Structure 1
Amino acid sequence: MGETLGKLFVPLSSLPGLYEYPAECKEPVFNPEDHLKPTFGGIVQLLFLACVYGCILFYASNLISDGSELLLLIPSIAPIVGSVVLPILGAVPDGAIVLFSGLGPNAQDQLTVGVGALAGSTIMLLTIPWALSIWAGRVNINSKGQCTYRKPASAPDKWRKLSKNRTRHDMLNRTGVEPNYEAMSSGALTMILTAIPYLIIQGAAFEFEGDSEEKIASEEKYYALVGLIFCTIAFFSYLYIQVRNSRTNQVLEDVVDSKRMDALKHGLLSLQGIFYNSLNGEVLANGGDPSAQNLLGFEHKKNSL
């Protein structure tokens, strides 16, 4: 399977001079009359492939973003889009890289690249996007030191969450985000607990370091199995916690309301679809029969299409 999927990509070994440099590339000589610098093997081709793959990933990420916004319009799954659906979609490529890298003939060498890509993407997610999300999500801080996420009753019509034309001093001292203590503490605990499988297999690697490859493989396979079981349990536990917490997420409700308003303006959703939850709750509260509830759900699906 690994070899079959590998045919979808250009093999780097086919790029001229990327691994074995010709003699003229090892000692390049610049000729002023050519007005061109010498090419260094397959570096140019490699950069071109990186740009092509980057464009594909950029287009795919936009599709995921558009699809996730449309999923927010479905009341039954809107609470779990950001906490369950998107994390799974983000983890699938990393897991596929590690899985397929271990299916080829040189599994040990390829796994080094796969795990390196996984670690690099994780570190990148914990640094650049996190910082950018704080910068993009910042709002004004009032005199009481509170973030103004909601419009005050006495605010003028031109009120904005983030004022424009601020000085650099005000941007650094009078804008910010308001962290949620429960979300941050539970997130930190989740990160610590889900890192235990790495310690399990890494501890075994330290223990049997220096032995033959056959002995290392025979000894570490049990630790790898324990790590796999722990990862599976941690994964489903994470999904359960996220689904449970999504029912009382006020920030998520505000995001969903905003997406519904945009969908209403562009004709993607009807008024009946927006008030589906309220109407459904009213039917049940008034003791309506199940057929009325089913009819309401059918009309909502029909008008949402």
Structure 2
Amino acid sequence: DTCTTSGPFGVFPDCEGLGASVFLNLVYGYALLTAAGFISDGSELLLEILSPGLVGGLLLPILGAVPDAAVIIASGLGASKEDAQEQVSIGMGTLAGSTVMLLTIAWGGSLILGRCDLSSRGTAINKTLTPKASIAEAANKTGVTTDTDTKTNAIVMMASCVTFLVIQIPAWMGMQANKKIDLAAAAVALGGLALYCGYQVLFPELQRRKIAAAQAKAARKRGAMFAAHLGNTMGGILIDGEVNVQALNKMFEQFDSDGNNEVDVQELKLALVAMSVTMQDTEITDGDVEVWLKEFDKDGDGLISRAEFCAGMTHWVLEQAKNLSVRPRRPSFEGSLREGGRHELSAARGPAHAGLEPLLGSTPEQEAGEGQGEEDESDVEEEDDEEPMTKSQIIKKAILFLAIGMAMVTLFADPMVGAVSSLSKALGLPSPFFASFVLTPFASNASELVSSLYFASKKRKKNISLTYSQVYGAVTMNNTMCLGLFMVVMRAQGLEWTFSSETLTILLVTLLVGYLGASRETFKSRLAVPVLALYPLSIALVCFLDFVVGWN
């Protein structure tokens, strides 16, 4: 195989042979996947501390589109005009593939994983699914239900399609390389981005839901860890796979300071403040209290009963144990949660916390005097990373993750473009578009795909609403920010617009799925198959229009 080096610093290999091209696509694709993961994790950390508004409405949507945008820019810049005309099709493949993948695989897969039984009124019943139903019953009597705001996001997504018409209509009239039209299209698309970000700032419902989900996730982890801490004195929070009820009752009694078998808002806040000291996280706010109350107070009376507390905490502990079983973690915390291993946590004490001593953990000095051996001491060091972080620690970690993700995207976007182009030639494909349509989106959008499927699998209305809203929001960013940058590249290189078939495919899929999302709130499971079928049909449509109709 003939290999050269290219990309940043001229150190990234680019090989022409099939085997080497496949290998490099896997390597660079994995690098972009990792970069997208860092950016997603950094954004999720920011969600734990942000309030919806300027940062949530402007920064986070843009961060989510960075990986695709980097590939689009790299596909047209850094090459001669002749090479750029061919390689820019990789950028279009990334743009089209990302949109189609999100609206078919993510949308349809979420419908399948999130489906619940439908009530007599035709709406989904949260977390209820009849097992072993026939195919006909599953198709027509199960589905998902979203909220009104999700319909609005679908309408916004469809409206963003107008950006493509600015460049496509003149192209149909024979003006494929008009710099003024390219500039106008870029201005309209980037103007659409500004309008969308403004909409997110003025009506930040999607950001509120994302922030609420992130805060609830952090609260569940913190609560499960504290339950594990208290359970250590009683043989562990999990005994033979079952939650230790005695430990939960002890935890409830420490929350219920007046002993009336109910925890009110003031008792909850005092208990969380004390717990935060034990967990070395003193950033308790009224928002944290609201999250706990919302998660536990099922009857909505503003009080948490013993039964509600034990049921909610049982769910949190089991969820955390499940997460540990599917994602490798440091063995120390896993042992504490599952086997009753001692989870040692430091606690700052002072007059401000007088009377709350039962909730405060032992100090390192006290625990060191209880005869713990060297093995436990090493566990303490390993567990430090598992303790909830303070606000400043969250900000530092988020910035670090975002910086790593951005750096990796900068380094590997251009090599990925070269690898896709080489793979396309090695396979004898007529255009690099087809390889980039399939490969690049699964690397750059993997975090959004996994996040969508994970949220949908919770089988709740609020989860599926967030899932579909994220999908519609990501496509809107493709239609504005990514298309705008693509037109900037076209204008800078003086390239011809030869993507009529790709544009029509994007518009058809976006409008079809967008119409579904905007016209109803409940989607029956039978819709999953035709929506998923749009993915291969999109590739077939591009082939037909390019090589049969001759639109290329």
- TM surpasses 0.5: yes
Cα displacement (A) at 1:110: 1.9
Letter in 1 for 2:391: K
- Hey, what does 1:56 align to over in structure 2? 31
Change (3 A) 1:7 1:197: farther
User: 1:50 & 1:187 partners in 2: Cα distance?
Assistant: 34
Letter in 1 for 2:284: G
Unmatched runs of 5 consecutive residues or more in structure 2: 1-5, 227-278, 291-389, 396-552
Change (3 A) 1:240 1:49: same
- Hey, what does 1:91 align to over in structure 2? 65
- Hey, what does 1:71 align to over in structure 2? 46
- Hey, what does 1:238 align to over in structure 2? 196
User: 2:91 & 2:214 partners in 1: Cα distance?
Assistant: 36
Q: Partner of 1:176: helix, strand, or coil?
A: strand
Contact 1:139 1:147 (C-alpha < 8 Å) held by counterparts: yes
**What does 1:123-142 align with in structure 2 at a 5 Å threshold?**
123-142=100-119
Unmatched runs of 5 consecutive residues or more in structure 1: 16-41, 150-160, 210-215, 280-299
Q: Partner of 2:125: helix, strand, or coil?
A: coil
User: 2:201 & 2:48 partners in 1: Cα distance?
Assistant: 17
User: 2:9 & 2:110 partners in 1: Cα distance?
Assistant: 35
Change (3 A) 1:72 1:98: closer
- Hey, what does 1:206 align to over in structure 2? 172
Contact 1:71 1:77 (C-alpha < 8 Å) held by counterparts: no
Letter in 2 for 1:90: G
How many pairs were matched up? Answer: 234
Cα displacement (A) at 1:247: 4.3
Q: CA RMSD in A?
A: 3.6
Cα displacement (A) at 1:183: 2.7
Q: Report which of the two has the higher share of helix.
A: 2
Q: Which moved more, 1:226-235 or 1:46-55?
A: 46-55
Contact 2:48 2:211 (C-alpha < 8 Å) held by counterparts: no
Matched, 1:192 2:158: yes
Letter in 1 for 2:142: T
CA deviation map 1:99-130 (0-9, x unaligned)? 22222113222222322222122212211111
- Hey, what does 2:391 align to over in structure 1? 301
Contact 1:71 1:78 (C-alpha < 8 Å) held by counterparts: no
- Hey, what does 2:284 align to over in structure 1? 273
Change (3 A) 1:57 1:180: same
CA deviation map 1:168-196 (0-9, x unaligned)? 44543443211334432x33432333222
Change (3 A) 1:111 1:302: closer
The match for 1:107 among 74, 84, 99 is 84
Matched, 1:178 2:136: no
Letter in 1 for 2:88: L
**What does 1:216-235 align with in structure 2 at a 5 Å threshold?**
217=177, 220-235=178-193
Contact 1:68 1:86 (C-alpha < 8 Å) held by counterparts: yes
CA deviation map 1:68-106 (0-9, x unaligned)? 43223114259975x765542332222222222222113
- Hey, what does 1:284 align to over in structure 2? none
User: 1:203 & 1:121 partners in 2: Cα distance?
Assistant: 23
CA deviation map 1:18-54 (0-9, x unaligned)? xxxxxxxxxxxxxxxxxxxxxxxx2222222222233
